[in-house]
Amino acid sequence: MDTGTAAVLGALITTVGGIIVAVINKFRKENHEDHDRVRQALDRVSHTMDRVEGKVDSHIDWHLKEAANGRVVRGTKGRGRKAS
């Protein structure tokens, strides 16, 4: 292989490699954007779960307090269930 052919082949390999790297970097940027969207959605779900957890905890505490006062708290209270 002469010097001219080696130089052309080296330039061709470098060009193809540069194009491949550019395409990979483009996908990586899009991937970061997608990850950011997913992270934001997970943050919203996490805040919702925290609120629900707090409501459930306070409701359970209410039941425990009522039971400690000697009252029997039924689960159907206020739901309009007819007595059989």
Residue 30, pLDDT above cutoff 90: no
Could you tell me which residue, 42 or 66, shows the higher pLDDT? Answer: 42
Q: Which pairs with CB-CB distance under 8 Å and at least 24 residues apart come from 11-15?
A: none
Give the mean pLDDT of the chain: 83
What average pLDDT does the segment 2-10 reach?
Answer: 91
**What's the pLDDT band for 31 if we cut at 50, 70, 90?**
confident
Q: Does the structure show a pLDDT above 80 at 67?
A: no
